[in-house]
Amino acid sequence: MAAAPSYPTFIEGLRMLVLESIITSVTVNYFGGEPPDPQACSREPINKLECVAVDGMRGIFWRQVFTPSAVASRGASHIWLFDSDLAVWPAFDLRQLVYQMQSLGAALAQPAVLPPKAGGHSSSVECVVAARLPESLSCVASTVPIVEVMTPVFASAAWSSVHAMLEAWPERTLQKTDHLLNDVWCRYLHLRGGWAVPCIVSRTVRILHGDTKMVEFQAAYLNRSEIAYQRRHKPSLTDAEYSRLVKPYYVTYMHRIKMRPTCFSQQEVVCGALHGVEIRGRARR
């Protein structure tokens, strides 16, 4: 099992995804709000790389950069949002994951998550951990009530809906925390977007999570004498801050969608069938 990817390895993986036309463009955010060396992006080995420096957590970066118009201008069918401590190349098969999504009519998906080493931590969301998925040779993907913020893949239409939801939240909320986004978007896409299959996890497409909790920026890439580390974590919130900044904007969709877990066979994926999917009523508010 491979080690957690370093920054150059991460960039090289993105370069290969672009070269093989698996992704059309890449945007890398330098969290912390301090712009990188102005020449850094031009030195990266990717022609279609954009570097930005949006201060705050994931949500504010996504809202500012991946607007529906920006997505449409790139002609993207899907939006993949990923952390830098994931092994994006070569084992991760993004093309296969998108194929499963399109075939099953899924709004949002993610690969099963592998730990950096046997017995290690891969994800705090139990239903997406590769080792905890049901053992079934006929099950290649299954519905889930939650998709983690670590590596979600959205159909472009689904992303437009989620982006509209993010637009309704105050900027300071999204700058302060991305806590609970996991628990919101599947239910939101089902109730507001009308998706019969809002969220799936693939059993056959897997990704290695280094679980480093930081982005490693190498001096050779940023033209700095030292290696800078930008920690990425959920800022601590007081109860008062949580109630004021988060709760009013999440409460409607906070409960996870209630669906009977459904496994899709390879035949169903190939045929684009949705047999066996049953929405177990509207999730409670």
Nearest to 78 by CA among 113, 48, 106, 49: 106
pTM: 0.82
What's the average model confidence in pLDDT over 135-161? Answer: 88
Report the percentage of the chain scoring pLDDT > 70: 68
Checking if the pLDDT of 116 tops 90, the result is no
What pLDDT band is residue 221 in, cutting at 50, 70 and 90? very low
Does the CA dihedral 241-245-248-251 come out positive or negative?
A: negative
Residue 110: what are its φ and ψ, rounded to 5°? -155, 155
Q: What rounded mean pLDDT belongs to the chain? A: 77
Kindly list the structural domains of the chain, giving each domain's residue range(s) and its CATH number in brackets, ordered by start.
Answer: 7-271 (3.90.550)
Please state, in angstroms and as integers, the Cα–Cα distance from residue 188 to each residue in 61, 120, 144, 197, 252, following that order: 20, 32, 14, 12, 9
Q: Write down the pLDDT at residue 157.
A: 95
What pLDDT band is residue 55 in, cutting at 50, 70 and 90? confident
Q: Write down the pLDDT at residue 254.
A: 64
Rounded CA-CA distance 278/261 in Å is 9
Q: For residue range 166-195, list pLDDT tens digits in order.
A: 988 878 878 877 877 888 899 889 888 889
Please state, in angstroms and as integers, the Cα–Cα distance from residue 100 to each residue in 74, 128, 199, 203, following that order: 22, 16, 12, 11
**CA 25 to chain centroid:** 16
Residues 6+ apart with CB under 8 A from 266: 138, 140
Residues 6+ apart with CB under 8 A from 261: 142, 143, 144
Cα–Cα–Cα angle for 3, 5, 8, nearest 5°? 140
Task: Choose between 256 and 240: higher pLDDT.
Answer: 240
Q: Write down the pLDDT at residue 229.
A: 35
Tokens describing residue 139: 């099950």
Rounded CA-CA distance 117/41 in Å is 32
What pLDDT band is residue 147 in, cutting at 50, 70 and 90? very high
What pLDDT band is residue 278 in, cutting at 50, 70 and 90? very low
Task: Choose between 179 and 198: higher pLDDT.
Answer: 198
What secondary structure letter does DSSP report for 275? T
